[in-house]
């Protein structure tokens, strides 16, 4: 049983990620909060064992530390001025490995949610074609190529052999099939 889904998942927005992260109760930094936090951690480990944390199974946040996704240190969970990173953290009580992983996961998800997504570019296939007029007895000084958008790629059709060259419909007036020099913007 694989971890991936059979269909692409819609990426979550920053607000959706933060909404799920904020469902974790922030316990007060008192004796009753410590007991509740330890109970939350024990319950998480009993339920999930050594599974990595995720949005479906968020890890409890240590008492008195910043919420995940707030620009905190992954080593101690604190926000300091000037900021420090986990590899430079000198905390006497570092976070549990699962909480560190949870904080890293949330930060990466928020970073990806903020990145600009560009739509995929259409693919065009290029393949060599025979010269347009085979009855001329001169060789073409350069190879001739045909360009086709993805949907018009002829070799995807079952009745065309991949070993033979594809004899494309030649349009001498089409810009994509023009074999001469392309006009330069400076010469127009």
C-beta of residue 144 within 8 angstroms of C-beta of residue 128: yes
Residue 65 C-alpha from the chain's centroid: 29
Q: List the chain domain ranges.
A: 14-114
Checking if the pLDDT of 165 tops 70, the result is no
Per-residue pLDDT tens for 81-102?
A: 888 877 888 888 889 999 999 9
Checking if the pLDDT of 2 tops 80, the result is no
Three-state DSSP string of 150-181: HHHCHHHCCCCCCCCCCCCCCCCCCHHHCCCC
Pull the structure tokens for residue 32.
Answer: 């009753």
Per-residue pLDDT tens for 174-185?
A: 545 444 444 555
Distance, in Å, from the CA atom of 68 to the CA atom of 33, rounded to the nearest integer, reads 18
Per-residue pLDDT tens for 18-76?
A: 888 888 888 888 898 899 999 999 999 999 988 899 888 899 998 888 888 888 888 88
Q: Give this prediction's pTM.
A: 0.57
- Residue 179: name the closest of 133, 136, 137 by CA: 133
Distances, alpha carbon 184 to alpha carbons 16, 101, 146, 188, in Å? 49, 54, 21, 7
> Phi then psi for 181, rounded to 5 degrees?
-75, 140
């Amino acid at each position: 049983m694989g971890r991936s889904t059979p269909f692409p998942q819609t990426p979550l927005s920053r607000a959706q990620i933060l909404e799920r992260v904020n469902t974790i109760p922030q316990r007060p930094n008192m004796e009753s909060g410590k007991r509740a936090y330890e109970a939350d951690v024990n319950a998480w480990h009993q339920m999930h064992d050594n599974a990595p944390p995720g949005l479906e199974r968020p890890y409890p946040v240590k008492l008195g530390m910043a919420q995940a996704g707030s620009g905190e240190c992954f080593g101690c969970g604190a926000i300091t001025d000037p900021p420090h990173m986990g590899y430079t953290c000198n905390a006497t009580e570092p976070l549990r490995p699962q909480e560190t992983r949870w904080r890293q996961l949330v930060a990466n998800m928020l970073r990806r949610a903020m990145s600009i997504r560009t739509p995929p570019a259409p693919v065009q296939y290029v393949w060599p074609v025979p010269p347009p007029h085979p009855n001329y007895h001169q060789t073409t000084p350069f190879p001739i190529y045909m360009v086709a958008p993805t949907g018009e790629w002829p070799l995807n059709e079952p009745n065309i052999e991949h070993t033979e060259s594809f004899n494309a419909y030649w349009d001498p007036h089409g810009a994509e099939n023009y074999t001469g020099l392309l006009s330069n913007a400076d010469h127009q």
